[in-house]
Structure 1
């Protein structure tokens, strides 16, 4: 297998695992809404981090859509998990 093809696969697997990592905030959000409050700062910082990466991917000269797609759930679920923890 050529290096380019291998790294293409690694990139897509990385994108999928990144999306899953942020989607798995859902149980913390459910716990927060049920009164079992979790941490505010970790998901809040994840939301900031993902916002920066989404902006970077969208506004650089050659858009990086896999980067944007990998971090978009982190913006939504990170901030939602943080604010439900308050």
Structure 2
């Protein structure tokens, strides 16, 4: 399992980005969390296998239909244990 912290910027708050992220993560079998940040970005911590993470990373660049993603920053982290994927 691998773990990544992801920061997504653009028009990503108020457009269902967190809810859609949770749905996509659950569909792929990824665990972790997603939250809005005060600076207007969305932050996620995702844990899964390489195939799952690759699919999720591709989705982060698109997001839900109402979103307009400008940048996706990724940092590898030490794997953490989660039971599910949550919106914080």
Asked if these proteins are the same fold (TM beyond 0.5), I'd say no
Normalising by structure 2, we get a TM-score of: 0.25
More strand by share: 2
Which structure is richer in relative contact order (CA contacts within 8 A, separation 6 or more)?
A: 2
More helix by share: 1
